[in-house]
Amino acid sequence: MLELKNICLQIGLEETPIHLLEDITLSLRGGGQLVAVLGPSGCGKSTLMKVIAGLKESTSGQILWKGRNLADEGDFDPHEVGYVPQFSIAHEKLEVWECIQDAIQLRCGGLLSEDVEAQVDSILSELGMEAIADKRVEVLSGGQRRRLALGMELVSSPHLLLCDEVTSGLDPKAEDEITGLLGAVAKKGRIVLNITHSLKHLGSHDSVVILFQGRLVFHAAPSYLLHYFGINHQEDLYPRLAERTPQEWASSWDKHRLSYENLVSVGLPSTEGASGEQVTQVGFFVQWRVLLARRWKLFWRDPGQVKLQLALMVGFPCLVVVFALHGLPALRAVAELPEDPLKQLVSDFAARIEYLKVGGMVSGLIMFQVVLLTLMGANNAAREIAGERLILEKEKFSGLSPVAYVLAKVSFLAVLVVVQSVWMSLFVNAIVRMPGHLLQQTLLLVLVNAAMTAVSLGISGLMQTAEQSSLVSVYLVGFQLPLSGAVLALPDWLGKITRPFIASYWGWAGFLQTMQETRFYNAVLQMTQTPLMPIGMVVLVLFAQALLGVLMAFWGCRRGRWE
């Protein structure tokens, strides 16, 4: 049983509030009923659905589920309620059966592999989608996508199913099929609320809820609608509503509400005590494993993404080498310079100039590698969360742990970071023969890439859209070089402010520290005014930046971002 008592939702200032919902009182007794929720655009249908689901918090009023006050006695358990939103809740590159399987594995714990397979087959059969089980989501029609979304919600056998305009934009045949499917779902003892703009299938519903500018103005069996509103055809409903104010319609309904709602509940079985199938919550590790496997599957099925990653991995190190080739003779000749550059200055001023050129070149090559790796990091993660924001919100609603989600992203990105950074280090070193400790240099490049990747992941978690996230991440990379102070020295006060946040500076400084036992280190010191930090401090700061990025991502994922 679902009861809404005096539900109100208002936004804006207290002096001039905007009432999205006002004094909604509604009672749905018994299970096995399909309820149409309709009204003019902007009347509060989707808002009411989100308030029921707990995605929006009402300003006042109570929601009771099976006698339990959801505000005081705990919200819906994830398996009790299903929500089919207007947007797609499936990844485009997955196949139909894979979407169903992932939904089961993320929501239903304690199942053996054969149990999962049997449940997938059962749901596909119920949806009538066996023939297209192997098709990818990207090639499905609108009606097939709605069927899939519905099937993904049925995996946990919810007692209450909320459907937000699942028939909108469909052709008449697909609309008939989806409405019939909703009716079949309801007959299994569920309460199904179906937001619709269509008046064609009202007769297929057990009751009709009508909202008008945030107020409830009718809830009864479809057969009473024409008589109550004094119209001859269902198509006359909206013009009839416009003849009176919402307050007048709501006041009229208050006088007749009890008698009509009692008629709705006659003959409906009670949901009290009907628990349906008991669903075990999925553990953190299982969710992490399923999400990580899904992310790799999506990666390999996107040729554009794979080609871009390969192009960056091959092209960027080659770019570094191209710029280094011209200076290779100078790099090798520096070994013949005296230990003390001051003596060389006295004996050969030209050699002194060459010494400074070598220092500038070494510094530039190191910074070039570091900046390119920060660009790779931004490309790795800028769209990672924001690009699937709505799918994430839907899966969180169904019980997904944000921690498992973020750690799955971190695990996937960690592989990219290590492969990109190690390849950059080994390839450049094999040709340029950069002096210093190769292992330390490689680890520092990994840390630089990881720091920028994590920060970009954090930005992706905070931004609403993938476009916003990409733009902010690109700007962040663009400021790496000028704010590092490695090429043009910054004013001392500005350097102290910016350097803690500039991964490229720490990567550059740390890389140079690995060359302390070589003459190249002295050459760099002769031409730079930027202070260099100890390698321990470098590692600590880069690790802190990476950790901060992960925490930003987690915080962003915890926040509700449905709009």
Each residue's pLDDT, cut to its tens digit, for the chain (563 residues) gives 899 999 999 988 777 788 899 999 998 877 789 999 999 988 999 999 999 998 888 999 999 998 888 888 878 888 889 999 887 789 999 999 999 999 999 999 888 899 999 999 999 998 889 999 999 999 999 889 999 999 999 998 899 999 998 888 788 888 888 999 999 999 888 999 999 888 888 989 999 999 999 999 999 999 999 999 999 999 999 999 999 999 999 999 998 888 777 776 555 555 444 444 567 788 899 999 999 999 999 999 999 999 999 999 999 999 888 877 765 555 555 545 555 555 554 445 444 555 556 666 777 788 889 999 999 999 999 999 999 999 999 999 999 999 999 999 999 999 999 999 999 999 998 888 777 889 999 999 999 999 999 999 999 999 989 999 999 998 999 888 788 777 667 777 787 888 888 999 999 889 888 888 776 676 677 667 777 889 999 999 999 999 999 999 999 999 877 66
Q: How far is residue 1's CA from residue 314's CA, in Å, rounded to a whole number?
A: 61
- Are 146 and 164 within one domain? no
Helix and strand totals (H; E) in the chain = 22, 10
Q: 185 in a domain, yes or no? A: no
**Domain end: 282, 316, 336, which one?**
282
Domain span at 316:
293-558
| Structure-token pair, residue 141 | 């029609």
* Dihedral angle sign, alpha carbons of residues 404, 409, 411, 414: negative
- Are 386 and 249 within one domain? no
- Are 327 and 316 within one domain? yes
Q: How far is residue 387's CA from residue 456's CA, in Å, rounded to a whole number?
A: 13
Closest to 532 measured CA to CA, from 513, 504, 545, 518:
513
CB 459 within 8 A of CB 382: yes
Instruction: List Cβ neighbours of 516 (8 Å cut-off, separation of 6 or more).
Output: none
Q: 179 in a domain, yes or no? A: no
Q: How far is residue 174's CA from residue 80's CA, in Å, rounded to a whole number?
A: 27
Give ∠ CA 446-418-480 in degrees, rounded to 5.
Answer: 40
DSSP code for 358: H
DSSP H helices, 187-302, are 225-229, 237-241, 246-265, 284-300
Instruction: List Cβ neighbours of 485 (8 Å cut-off, separation of 6 or more).
Output: 495, 498, 499, 505, 530
| Structure-token pair, residue 152 | 């993904």
CB 45 within 8 A of CB 38: yes
- Are 472 and 533 within one domain? yes
Q: How many domains does the chain have?
A: 3
Q: 513 in a domain, yes or no? A: yes
Closest to 410 measured CA to CA, from 461, 465, 444:
461
- Are 148 and 167 within one domain? no
**Single-letter residue type at 495:** G
